[in-house]
Amino acid sequence: MDVLQNKPDFIDVLGPQVRMISSTTASASDYCVIDAIIPPGVIIPLHSHDDRETFYVLSGAAEGFRDGRWHDLEAGGILDIMGGEQHAWRNTSREDAHLLLVTTMRMKQFFDEIGKPVSEVPAPLSPDAMRHLLEVANRFGYRMGTPEENLAIGITT
């Protein structure tokens, strides 16, 4: 049986699902390792933040946007996002994209604030959940792409 099938330790962060796999530390700038799943059809719109993120694809396939273009990534692929760099993700395949994410504890704290246990997530995304995301993103200093910026890279929000 697939160990990820029931996802008991995962939280849903408005589509993607994540769980911490490294030990926690007190400093928000310390690095951590996060297990991440981008289910089929999930889109993470254009955004940026000061936290560096390095993604390693374990299985499946996804597209990551950076440097003004989409990058097709499959198992073994790496996408490194520097702090402040605009980026986005989408999974147009029929299976989960399973990734390891190395980032800061601050990003993990952000995920904890916007996330809910996978079993408690209603579909589709509620307006209240979107408002909460925008409030938390603003508090963390994260920039969300405008509808026009997303449309320019092929994402409808």
What are the residue boundaries of the structural domains of the chain, listed by start? 11-152
The CATH T-level fold of domain 11-152 is Jelly Rolls (2.60.120)
pLDDT, tens only, 23-54: 666 676 788 999 999 999 999 999 999 999 99
3 pLDDT exceeds 80? no
* β-sheet with 87-90: strand ranges across: 69-74, 61-66, 87-90, 43-48, 143-144
**Which pLDDT value is given to residue 89?**
98
pTM for the model: 0.89
120 pLDDT exceeds 80? no
Mean per-residue pLDDT, 145-155 = 96
**Which pLDDT value is given to residue 56?**
98
